[in-house]
Structure 1
Amino acid sequence: MPEPGTRLLDFLHELQTTTSWRVATEKPHSQWQLAGKTWQATVVVEPGRWLGLEFEAQDPVTGRRATYDIDTDLYDITRDEVFAEEVESDIIEFLANLRSGAVRRGNDGAKFVLVFPREGAYVRVVQGRVMTRASAHAGPLGGDFVAVD
């Protein structure tokens, strides 16, 4: 079984050649900076230690922002490879959805909202004044949402 982070590194290398995104790596392949027109992300891959994604999208008209994070937190991933593999799969799934246009943005009143599929459900991310809320829903959410580009 490959070390946690290996599949994610392979996926990041693939993104460099298959997308129009800016994909740059720092700190010898442990920190990756990705960006599109209305979003940016940092992916950290330290096999055997930590995996993480910090994503931020912006509404180009209002300037409102929403963030979404996926990471292994403070867990020792060398002791729980199943957990590390799940986090790795979640990051890859999110980036694949972003690449395919399935990560969408819109407004709900005064709030900027992100919506995307995850593990057979839909996640709705709302940026509050202080914290971000993410909730899962059984089906796609209505509204005027456009792909994050």
Structure 2
Amino acid sequence: MSKVSYYTPEGLKKLREELSQLKDVERPNASRAIGEARDKGDLSENAEYDAAKEAQGMLEMKISKLEETLSNARLIDESQLDSSKVLVLSKVKIKNQTNGMEVTYTLVADGEADLASGKISVNSPIGKGLLGKTVGEVADIQVPNGTLKFDILEISR
């Protein structure tokens, strides 16, 4: 079952570059490694050949998965998004009701999530809890150690 994912232009470009790297650089390297191992003699007892074939299989699986992801990827048109509620690509400033800490997150697709730069996945517990909320609402978010309550302070693009 294919699952549609939404990406920014930068995220889609990054996926395409990764696929290109795998196909144009990694795949020929894997084939070369298999050829070199094959030249070393008896294949039935050649661990180097077996390892090279296994690595090639893993690479092909990764390429296939990335191609599937790209085929189901959709580019987000930011001009069409409603900025009154939290959606993909929304920059949301929230306040934890428990400790008063304020944090700003940008909600992005799974492949673009990077907590260090403040980008969280829309499929993460916090991302799911924030989707559809408006300024002034309280988001009750289920996390492994209970429920967190966040005030939605600000939504921007």
> TM-score surpassing 0.5?
no
- Give the TM-score taking structure 2 as reference length: 0.30
If asked which structure has higher relative contact order (CA below 8 Å, sep 6+), I would say 2
Structure with bigger strand share is: 1
Larger radius of gyration: 2
Structure with more of its chain in helix, by fraction: 2
